[in-house]
Structure 1
């Protein structure tokens, strides 16, 4: 079967995965208002293309966290990827390197960060959750520094887990509770069972190693999002700096006011994010606040955004509004679940190709000359051109 876009890979992933695993990948919080709003924000923006421009050569290169990237995206941090494919984080890291992009490894990864570094020479970032026992985060940062990770994404929108109704509907818990419904769900997906399920439940090995616990995923119940440090506040940026000498981004910013506060604390950048609609239902789309956030950002700071990105044209819209780049969450996971590393690589190639096609059709040959003027509500395009 020919898979022509991210939506096709989503369909293939749904066929491959048991219902509980696909629900974990796909679902949002509560009524999924924010999940839908993330897509609606992209769909509401229209383009104003200009024609008869020289678009024979398209340049999508940019800088992310101070390092070159082939196009303006990061393969973003997603946890518990081992329920989709074996060695999932390694596969995503390799796919990101092949695409010329950074890969951000989640605190809740199912592969050791040292192992991920061993399989790729690409740019690696660490996404960090801070538990009540901050020694866990300190140990993880030290390990990431030793493995030459270049940037840190401090996630701040998860003092508790959002209410995710699909977990209840599908019986998703960790550790898995063996019910007749769950057993039926698994045995009716024999390809997943033969390639993933037969190897047992995935393990949060990174978190367990830094917490000096056993590797079983049940340890998550005591050390991860169920016991987040709810005292974490802006003053703790200084604590973070004491343990991390690379780039620091604050991920989970949902208001312009918080973005301004982050810049006042001299972080290197922010990620405008509502956690893919998985935390506070009813939150705004990150797309809605990109332009105003960028207007307050120091020249040295980078503004990234995520949530709902399924097309290359979505990336163009985010960058046109002022974002330096985007984080990709579900899209590469669809490819990973559908076809392993090759599927993740293919999804990234599709998105890059769509990005270049969109720029050509807009009459804009260089990503760096893209502005909000390509969007219908902002007048004419300001791309450099010869008249």
Structure 2
């Protein structure tokens, strides 16, 4: 496979600076910001980076292998693309670019219900090897239509979203008047004029829309921001009854995203779920909650043998991925990191980002003498975990 690694951008920090310079401020802030004062957004990463690993230098070592098996699929690395809404607003065609990059790198890709690419398009790009994250609709008929479309497109792992029972209070989005298309305030117009690459890309791609939901949205509906659309179309809180109904209908792997406590994990096990993703929606919903890494220390020992325990949020490097795997995660997901790659470098930004993360993780594994990702747990220094 042709390399697209750009040595001018060897870290996410470099990608972030480049992306910020190319994007309108309202688009960058939608990608990068959290809710309220962004305490939990920062805590996600800072807690992960407290984790320390123990190297073994004087043992035999034949090399590190990142290959990871998950739900019967084998991936080239233990990380995947988390579901992100409104990707096309942040950079034109970014959802399709990332899906193609995931295919080329044999990585996992998850599509959000409110992304700007359709289920069918992503199914075609990935040859059906993708996951679909469901925002639970208020009406069962719409729910069943979405599930049927995902299954017909080849999806065999469904992710139910649990951590958005209400629309978050995000000051930056409120100030920006975020909408689809963006509200034409003078400030927004000036920002777009100062971002010519973004603007030209949007002209070529067409205005970003909720492609999966497009046929269900009344024509001419004016949405101030994502939250208004969500409140009208989706029921928000995931309940046991809703989980049971989906478990009965969905014949593939079923995962719940947003679990952070043992009580919710017990419900997942009770209803025969196959996995859970520890997540706080990237620090975008609850500003005074725990970071993503802290719940792992309770959930992994109690539920690790009953279902797959994965984690999403706060990871921006291969070292961050290694820390989460060392704390017991079976798999990791990142949303902002791949998006920053595309926003910085365009079509091949996902390729660059995936190559970068693989290089970083490989270095950590070789440095500590870890042959397989599943053995990173043996290198955890327990005293370092931020409990």
TM-score by length of 1: 0.91
Instruction: Map 1:162-181 onto structure 2 (within 5 A).
Output: 162-181=168-187
- Structure 1: give runs of 5+ residues left out of the alignment: 380-387
- Alpha-carbon RMSD: 2.2
Aligned with 1:129 (options 118, 132, 135): 135
Alignment of 1:342 with 2:343, yes or no, is: no
1:224 Cα deviation (Å)? 2.7
Q: CA deviation at 1:374?
A: 2.7
Aligned ranges 1:9-88 → 2 under 5 Å: 9-88=15-94
Output one character per residue of 1:44-89: Cα deviation in whole Å (capped at 9) or x when no partner.
1122211123344211112223321111111110011111333222
2:109 to 92, 103, 106: 103
Q: Which moved more, 1:182-191 or 1:256-265?
A: 256-265
Q: Which of the residues 237, 251, 265 maps onto 2:271?
A: 265
Tell me if the contact between 1:85 and 1:336 (Cα under 8 Å) persists in the aligned partners. Answer: yes
1:200 offset after TM fit, Å? 4.5
Q: How does 1:130-279 map to 2 (within 5 A)?
A: 130-197=136-203, 199-209=205-215, 211=216, 213-214=218-219, 218=223, 223-230=229-236, 232-279=238-285
Structure 1 residues 304 and 221, CA gap change in structure 2 (3 angstroms): closer
| Count of aligned pairs | 378
Shift of 1:227: 4.1
CA shift digits 1:246-294 (9 cap, x unpaired): 1010001122221222122220000000000000111101211113211
Q: Is the deviation greater in 276-285 or in 364-373?
A: 364-373
Residue 153 of structure 1 aligns to a residue whose secondary structure is strand
1:124-174 Cα deviation digits (max 9, x unpaired): 000000121232221111001001112011001112221101113333233
Q: Distance in 1 between matches of 2:33 and 2:161?
A: 19
Q: Distance in 2 between matches of 1:171 and 1:128?
A: 25
Where structure 2 has 5 or more consecutive residues not aligned to the other structure, the ranges are 1-6
